[in-house]
Amino acid sequence: MIKFPVIERQVLDLSRPRVMGILNVTPDSFYDGGKYLSETKVIERIRQIVEEGADIIDVGACSTRPGAAGVDEKEEMARLEPAVELIRKYYPNMLVSIDTYRAKIAEEINTCLGPVIVNDISGGTMDSRMFETVARMKVPYILMHIQGIPRTMQRNPVYENVVEEVKLFFKERITRLNELGFDNLILDPGFGFGKTAEHNFQLMEALDTFQELGYPVLSGISRKGMIWKTLDITPAEALNGTTVLNTVSLMKGAQLLRVHDVKEAVEAVKLFNCIHQFARF
């Protein structure tokens, strides 16, 4: 039985897959860095994500692309807070996720702007206060696997068995969170975060086995290197490949897709649901 996350006493129903649209308010994200830096552009992007049918907006204010140097806490908050405020202002019922590994940022946004989902690319490894913070706030927490840190994570990542090692990481982190009385979780295997293309495809093939851990699974492969490097194209040309792997993710049991291209992901979910209704159990 998969346990669905809860936000503001409401169950986030993932009995059918949902789509999370990406809003990067950064100058240096790998695909759309620098596109949404003015208030006008941010509002346009928020409207696009909503109108194309996303269920959640994921706001990132600190690039975590391979090789990224990161920004300090003050700068991250200066970028993040206005974007979340704009979502609250124009679409107050929209679910919001914040892409941050800093406990203080997570707490301040939740305190000042209302409950949000915390999307932590580090799985609590880059801020020792994160687990205690989300356990106290009781907001949904996306627990992602990473090997290393963004600046160095793609310098020869090594695993004996990537699937089993990611599962072991999850089991250890889940135990720690459960000991704090917290289980409001979504799991993300972290495609591209300290993994080669081969590692990523191994994780994709075994994605359905992560359901055994009892929590919903997020797939975040949108326009990533595993697609465009494999196909010898650019990130800008990787929409078709993204849709293919989003569909594979759905077939492998992913309950949440994190994407740049919302319309195409929503269409993939709709078609998947048409097929899945006839699934033989």
Instruction: From the candidates 258, 263, 270, 280, give the one annotated as an active-site residue.
Output: 258
Count Cβ atoms below 10 Å from residue 69 Cβ, excluding itself: 9
114: closest CA among 260, 9, 262? Answer: 9
Answer yes or no: 252 catalytic: no
DSSP string, 80-145: HHHHHHHHHHH-TTSEEEEE---HHHHHHHHHHH---EEEETTTTSS-TTHHHHHHHHT--EEEE-
Residue 142, CB half-sphere, CA atoms under 13 Å: how many? 30
Q: Measured at the alpha carbon of residue 238, what is the angle toward residues 237 and 244, in degrees to the nearest 5?
A: 140
Phi/psi class of residue 30: alpha, beta or left (left: φ > 0; alpha: ψ in -120 to 50)?
alpha
Answer yes or no: 224 catalytic: yes
Residue 59, CB half-sphere, CA atoms under 13 Å: how many? 31
Instruction: From the candidates 167, 195, 224, 252, give the one annotated as an active-site residue.
Output: 224
| Residue positions annotated with a catalytic role | 224, 258
